[in-house]
A and B are shown apart, each in its own frame.
Chain A
Amino acid sequence: MKLPGTPYKDVDLKEGRIPYVEDKPDAKYRFSAGIAMSRFLEELKNGRIMGLKCLNCGRIYVPPRTFCSYCFKPTSEWVQVKDTGIVNTAVVSYIAADRGRMDKPLVVAVIELDGASPGMGILHKLGNVDPEDVKNGKIFGKRVRAVWRPEEERTGSITDILYFEPMEGD
């Protein structure tokens, strides 16, 4: 069976054998952070991680949201969770967001924060971790703590936390 379609190679494009028009999207947005995330970002400047609690089912959500994902009631009680937690899963990245190779591998993880409901993790980087301990599984379940930017450098961003690192004696 012969199927339709005309493949070409990248070199054909580079050497001008494939006609094309070029355009660059100019798509810019200012995403309103809203009630829940505005407070979350503001409190990061103070070195605090805030969650919202559903008074109906008791779940404590991080990242916070004004609605309960599971019982669909409004969440209304702000709760400060700890900046410590356990590693749910971790990987070693050798590539950057644009698919280019990184100079130095980066360890990233989902961290379940102490004080949030079980399983409520956030994505972040891990520092001071040997990539081998990710590959042999040792880092899973390990306790970690946030390493914050100096207070004067914080901007109200998730990057106000530089990374999480393993806690001593653990």
Chain B
Amino acid sequence: MARMNINFKNRVAVIGAGLTLFRRRMYETTRELAWEAAKQALDNAGLTLRDIDAVVLGTAPDAFDGIHMQGEHMTDAAGGYMKPYTRVFVGGGTGVFAAIAGWWHVASGLFDRVLVVAEEKMSTVRPHPQYVFHHIFDPIMDKPLGVNLIWIFALEMARYMYKYNIKKEDIALVSVKNKRNALDHPAAQVAAKITVEDVLNSEVLVWPVQRLDISPVSDGAAAIVLTNEEYAKQYTDTPVWIEGVGWSLDTTYWTNRDLAFPKYLYYAGKMAYKMAGIDNPRKEIDVAEVYDPFDYKELHHMEGLQLARKGEAPILTREGVTERDGDLPINPSGGLLGVGNPIAAAGLMKVAEIFWQLRKEAGKRQVAKDPVTGLAQAWGDLMQIGTVVIMRV
């Protein structure tokens, strides 16, 4: 990003957040899930829908629901009826990106109070949600080869392991940590006490990816309420400010990229750090929710975000630095590996977790250090987009 043309006029605060349970299959429809989360967030902020000026929706591929223009299907349920309402979409990066879009609705000065809702219902599609991902690939180069989503992540993981000589044992530690952290999360779907051996002995899907390296498929929804400075101070004594946002989309041609390092996230992070005035992320970020649909991605993303040097994230993990009581707690919520992965909702759950951590409202999940600055991040598309939000109290 080039130079900024003015100083920010409108500071944006998060003043409320809400979640539904994350589960493999939910009785509620997409609309019902979105409404539940929106209601929770509004209650948490002490607002009603009448107080909301505009609504942003995040939901990942329409194919999960089999509904064309899914965003439009959700209008009333997300609170967008007769309001300025929009859906933004960047694949798996959508959850955090919806918060970014909410930020610019307020930061632009157009709106005072904005509701951001993210939902995903993956259980609708039969026989398995994986099948939907077949249709994300290039119909000429990749699809005829029978490509599976896990292939491409495995190819990235394998390259990362090869380049930095990383052992599967070290990567498995992420899964162990996150599933354990999730034991304290009220929405958690797959919280568990497991060992590195459990991960290494789980079903091999696409080597090096095994079943316990991966987050589950889930149904769920999340929501947050954003306001400008004036309203934030009126509604709460503890607003959490969004001080930086960043995102970056890499080339479509994923086989032309350096898969060992997430360059898209390096750029997204750089943009957000610049906005938030952060020079040394490793020192200045107190707690981070990085996107962890696979265990290796937590490590990969820490390096892309400059929270670790290249190849260093597994070492920090082994040394306990990323535990809740460590120097740089990563995914204290339990992440996607522990709480679950209703795609867009999982991303926004991460923003909600940073909101609670910075307000010291995370209960048993509260990190040991006194956090002032936190970061939430998501990732998606063909291993291609990074979305980053930096928050402060």
Query: Do these two chains really belong together in a complex?
Result: yes
Question: Measured between alpha carbons, how far is A63 from B138 in the docked complex, in Å?
Answer: 11
B233 at the interface (CB under 8 A from A): no
B259 at the interface (CB under 8 A from A): yes
Complex contacts, A124 vs chain B, CB 8 Å: 145
Complex contacts, B230 vs chain A, CB 8 Å: none
A16 at the interface (CB under 8 A from B): no
Q: Which of A23, A96, A137 makes the CB contact (< 8 A) with B66?
A: A23
Complex contacts, A123 vs chain B, CB 8 Å: 141-142, 145, 147, 151-152, 155, 255
A131 at the interface (CB under 8 A from B): yes
Complex contacts, A31 vs chain B, CB 8 Å: 139-140
Q: Which of A3, A18, A93, A109 makes the CB contact (< 8 A) with B21?
A: A3
A119 at the interface (CB under 8 A from B): yes
Q: Indicate with 1 or 0, residue by residue over B20-39, a CB within 8 angstroms of chain A CB atoms.
A: 11011111100001001101
Question: Measured between alpha carbons, how far is A88 from B257 in the docked complex, in Å?
Answer: 10
A90 at the interface (CB under 8 A from B): yes
Given A4-B40, A94-B204, 20 more contacts at CB 8 Å?
Answer: A3-B40, A4-B37, A5-B21, A5-B219, A6-B27, A25-B63, A63-B140, A89-B159, A91-B154, A95-B148, A97-B131, A97-B146, A108-B151, A108-B155, A120-B256, A122-B255, A123-B141, A123-B255, A137-B162, A159-B144
B258 at the interface (CB under 8 A from A): yes
In the complex, the answer to whether A91 meets B204 with C-beta atoms within 8 Å is no
In the complex, the answer to whether B130 meets A89 with C-beta atoms within 8 Å is no
Q: Which of B19, B27, B134, B152 makes the CB contact (< 8 A) with A8?
A: B27
A36 CB to nearest chain B CB (Å): 10
Closest chain A residue to B255 by CB distance?
A121
* Sample of 15 A–B contacts (CB below 8 Å): A4-B20, A5-B219, A5-B220, A8-B27, A18-B27, A88-B159, A92-B204, A92-B206, A93-B150, A108-B155, A119-B257, A120-B256, A123-B145, A123-B151, A140-B162
User: Could you tell me which B residues sit within 8 Å of A by CB distance?
Assistant: 19-21, 23-28, 33, 36-37, 39-40, 63, 66, 127-128, 130-131, 134, 138-142, 144-148, 150-152, 154-159, 161-162, 186-187, 204-209, 219-220, 251, 253, 255-259, 363
In the complex, the answer to whether A97 meets B148 with C-beta atoms within 8 Å is yes
Complex contacts, B26 vs chain A, CB 8 Å: 5-8
Interface centre among A31, A98, A125, A134 (most CB of B within 10 A): A98
Q: Which of B131, B145, B157, B251 makes the CB contact (< 8 A) with A158?
A: B145
Q: Which of A6, A37, A108, A120 makes the CB contact (< 8 A) with B140?
A: A37
Complex A-B, nearest 3 residue pairs according to Cβ-Cβ distance, in ascending order: A5-B21, A89-B159, A7-B23
A35 at the interface (CB under 8 A from B): no
User: Could you tell me which A residues sit within 8 Å of B by CB distance?
Assistant: 1-10, 13, 18, 23, 25, 31, 33, 37, 41, 61, 63, 65, 69, 88-99, 108-110, 119-125, 131, 134-135, 137, 140, 157-159
Q: Which of B134, B186, B207 makes the CB contact (< 8 A) with A2?
A: B186
Interface centre among A99, A109, A121, A159 (most CB of B within 10 A): A99
In the complex, the answer to whether A135 meets B21 with C-beta atoms within 8 Å is no
Question: Measured between alpha carbons, how far is A90 from B222 in the docked complex, in Å?
Answer: 37
In the complex, the answer to whether A3 meets B141 with C-beta atoms within 8 Å is no
Interface centre among A10, A91, A123 (most CB of B within 10 A): A91
In the complex, the answer to whether A121 meets B186 with C-beta atoms within 8 Å is no
Question: Measured between alpha carbons, how far is A5 from B186 in the docked complex, in Å?
Answer: 12
Complex contacts, A90 vs chain B, CB 8 Å: 155, 158
Complex contacts, A125 vs chain B, CB 8 Å: 145
B340 CB to nearest chain A CB (Å): 11
Q: Which of B21, B25, B206 makes the CB contact (< 8 A) with A91?
A: B206
Complex contacts, A140 vs chain B, CB 8 Å: 158, 162
- If the complex has contacts A4-B40, A159-B145, are A98 and B27 also in contact, measured as CB distance less than 8 A? no
Question: Measured between alpha carbons, how far is A122 from B254 in the docked complex, in Å?
Answer: 9
B154 CB to nearest chain A CB (Å): 4
In the complex, the answer to whether A3 meets B255 with C-beta atoms within 8 Å is no
In the complex, the answer to whether A119 meets B25 with C-beta atoms within 8 Å is no
Question: Measured between alpha carbons, how far is A164 from B258 in the docked complex, in Å?
Answer: 21
Q: Which of B19, B23, B158, B206 makes the CB contact (< 8 A) with A95?
A: B206
B6 CB to nearest chain A CB (Å): 28
Closest chain B residue to A29 by CB distance?
B139
In the complex, the answer to whether B162 meets A134 with C-beta atoms within 8 Å is no
Complex contacts, B154 vs chain A, CB 8 Å: 91, 93
Complex contacts, B128 vs chain A, CB 8 Å: 98-99
A114 CB to nearest chain B CB (Å): 15
